[in-house]
Amino acid sequence: MTTLECLFCDQRRPFEIYDPFCPACGAPMLVAPTRSRKRIRRTAPTAAERFADFLPLKKYNPALSLGVGGTPLLRLGSVIDKFDLPEVLAKNETANPTASFKDRGTVVAIQKALELGVKKIGTISTGNMAGSTAAYAAKAGLPCLVFVKQDTPQDKILAAAVYGATIIKVQGDYGGLFRKSFEIGRARGIAFMNSVDPFRIEGYKVTSYEIFEQLGPAAFRAKAPVMIFIPVSAAGHLIGLLRGFLDLRGLGLIPRLPIIVGVQASGCAPISRAFRLGKVRVERFPNPHTIAHAISNPTPPGGELALRLLRESGGSMMDVSEDEIHRAHSLMAAKEGIFCDPASATPLAAVLKLKRRGQILTGAKSVLIITGSGLKAMEGLESARLDIRSAALEKLDQAL
């Protein structure tokens, strides 16, 4: 039986399917460490299998993985040259089965659901989560219920419904829907695996294991730090990555943690604002407005936990303007051949902001987490800036 713990109350209790929150303070609970002996299976074909002992599953089943992970770590050579940066690499999570990082968490959460005999799963989503959960539910043979915001673009709804999930567009407050989903789950026997689901968070650790393997141990022993820049919405992804590096430090594989920098859009930066103001509580961000829809979350459920873990680990939070996001988004595509969503451009925007301020450490290696594909955020493109023309075949020469 898996035990959950609350980092704020030191409360521990066995995991119950329909309730991942601390009974004392309401914070999302995390999977408590176990004393079982853990080893790395060095010859296993994927990082999830190599580090399976660090996942809260009796047995990791690659047959349900859809081929998740093993995503490329790409050196951004042109951007480095153009801005005279030290090493910058992109961990391209859009190469995952449903084109976003969510698959890393879903593959673990869904296997936990199967282990527990759950018969139906659910999620709430503004986009990527819906498609990921629906795809893995289809593969596992479980019915899936997805609540989306009423104004979610139709393409994102279709891209989840195609997997056979039931999609309900809900009018009302998204924070309220988040809480309501667990009520409905309890009443109807549906395991909701939302953004801060403790098993989902454990799945994100595998990204850190891969970054460690791809950069190599020497990078973490170097004098200059490894820095991880990650877009932050609910904060489950950031918490998971940090926990992955904590595992690696616990194993003695890295002598110290990388510096983790969470990045938000200035138009919706509740955690970044709290970090800057030295607060422990995250207040609702008023009038959120950003092109980075995937991280436009004014009431992030993992906000306080992220603040605490970042402060304990020497990490930080930043936010970047709409102009900075647009510019970084365009650079990623036109200089590096990576078409990501605007949220995924915030890490590069953050690096360029630090560079302008003279705050990039000499020799530091920066890893930017690219969380979602541009193909799912076409509305983020400013077609006016693109070079698109028309011509008749016989007049093609003149058009050039």
> In the window 18-47, what residues touch a second copy (CB under 8 A)?
none
> Is residue 259 a contact point for a second copy (CB under 8 A)?
no
DSSP annotation string for 70-112: ---EEE-HHHHHHHT-S-EEEEEGGGSTTSBTHHHHHHHHHHH
> Is residue 396 a contact point for a second copy (CB under 8 A)?
yes
> Is residue 74 a contact point for a second copy (CB under 8 A)?
yes
**C-beta of 163 vs 220, nearer to a second copy:** 163
Which letter does DSSP use for residue 16 in this model? B
> Is residue 162 a contact point for a second copy (CB under 8 A)?
yes
**C-beta of 1 vs 396, nearer to a second copy:** 396
Q: Report, in Å, the least distance between residue 58 CB and a second copy.
A: 20
Can you tell me which of 38, 180, 308, 327 binds a second copy, judged by CB under 8 A?
A: 180
Q: Report, in Å, the least distance between residue 238 CB and a second copy.
A: 23
Which letter does DSSP use for residue 118 in this model? -
Residues that contact a second copy, how many (by CB under 8 A): 79
**C-beta of 244 vs 372, nearer to a second copy:** 372
Q: Report, in Å, the least distance between residue 268 CB and a second copy.
A: 21
Q: Could you tell me the CA-to-CA distances from 303 to 9, 153, 192, 232 in Å, in that order? A: 16, 26, 19, 9
Site for a second copy in 76-115 (CB under 8 A): 77-78, 92, 95-99
Question: At 163, which amino acid appears?
Answer: Y
Can you tell me which of 11, 61, 166, 313 binds a second copy, judged by CB under 8 A?
A: 166
Q: What is the CB-side half-sphere exposure of residue 32 using CA atoms within 13 A?
A: 17
Q: Could you tell me the CA-to-CA distances from 266 to 153, 351, 381 in Å, in that order? A: 23, 15, 19
C-beta separation of 88 from 79 below 8 A:
yes
Site for a second copy in 315-354 (CB under 8 A): 330, 333-339
Q: Could you tell me the CA-to-CA distances from 38 to 5, 35, 41, 243, 266 in Å, in that order? A: 20, 9, 10, 15, 41
Site for a second copy in 187-216 (CB under 8 A): 187-188
Can you tell me which of 25, 222, 224, 386 binds a second copy, judged by CB under 8 A?
A: 386
Rounded Cα distance, 192 and 123, in Å: 5
